[in-house]
Amino acid sequence: MKTYVLTVSRYFPKTHKRAEDPTYFVEKILSEQISCGLISRSEVKKHEPFSVLIFNTDEPKIHTCRANYDLWKKRIDNVSIGEAILSVRYWSGKPYNSKQVEICQLNKDSGVGVQRLTFQHDRDGIYGLKYPIISRTHFGDIKILAANDGLSLEDFKEWFKGYDLTKPMAIIHFTKFRYLI
């Protein structure tokens, strides 16, 4: 069976104004996986000494946004039909220069999914989403997307400032949650 690897950051990247601050993505993902019954609390022990205070967060990370929609669509479709698994991981130390640690594996029964994401722009940058639409309020849409990605709106915009947002991105869901289209 194929394994696709998806790594998440434990710290904000050097290009972000909050560079090297913790993201708590690992804790936010684990918290949601526990609440959905996809992993047990005992499995979380292997990820200590992460902040156990975050495990009961009201700000879970239920998905991640990635460039290259077509690539991720193909991969997640393979997972959804049982031909592959998605291994969600983090770097134990410096990214690309340390061991990867698996947070969880997502399979066809986990609810993993992908949705296409495109943005609306003006001369001041991102102001809303074209798709998926959650509500008719541009800022409401993107605030919800950012929160579900484990970030504030400001941090979300800063994170993706260097991306080519004219090209579709992928929202890779870690649970059965989907945005209404």
The model's pLDDT over 127-177, given as tens digits with 9 standing for 90+, comes to 555 444 443 334 447 888 899 999 998 899 899 888 887 888 999 999 998
* Cα–Cα distance list, 44 to 32, 50, 119 (Å): 12, 9, 35
The answer as to whether 166 is a domain residue is yes
Under 8 Å between Cβ of 174 and 32 = yes
Q: Supply the pLDDT for residue 133.
A: 40
What pTM did the predictor assign? 0.83
Of 37, 29, 40, the C-alpha closest to 149 is 29
Identify whether 103 is part of a domain.
yes
Rounded Cα–Cα distance for residues 59 and 57 (Å): 5
- Which one is predicted more confidently, 23 or 49? 23
156 backbone dihedrals φ, ψ, rounded to 5°:
-60, -50
User: Could you list the residue range(s) of the whole structural domain that residue 31 is in?
Assistant: 2-173
Give how many domains the chain has, as a whole number.
Answer: 1
Whether 179 is in a domain gets the answer: no
Residue 26 pLDDT greater than 60, yes or no:
yes
Instruction: Report yes or no on 119 lying in a domain.
Output: yes
pLDDT at 57: 54
Q: No. of H helices and E strands in the chain?
A: 5, 7
46 within some domain: yes
Instruction: Judge whether 180 lies within some domain.
Output: no
Residue 71 located in a structural domain: yes
115: pLDDT strictly greater than 80: yes
Distance (Å, rounded) from C-alpha 130 to C-alpha 138? 9
* Stronger pLDDT, 26 or 40, i.e. the higher one: 26
Low-confidence winner among 29-38, 113-122, 170-179 (lowest mean pLDDT): 29-38
Give the distance from CA 90 to its chain's centroid.
12
Q: What are phi and psi of 129, to 5 degrees?
A: -110, 140
Task: Identify the burial level of 129 via C-beta atoms within 10 angstroms of its C-beta, where 0-12 means exposed, 13-18 middle and 19 or more buried.
Answer: buried
pLDDT for the residue numbered 47: 58
Residue 181 lies in a domain: no
Dihedral of the alpha carbons of 86, 166, 118, 28, in degrees to the nearest 10? 50
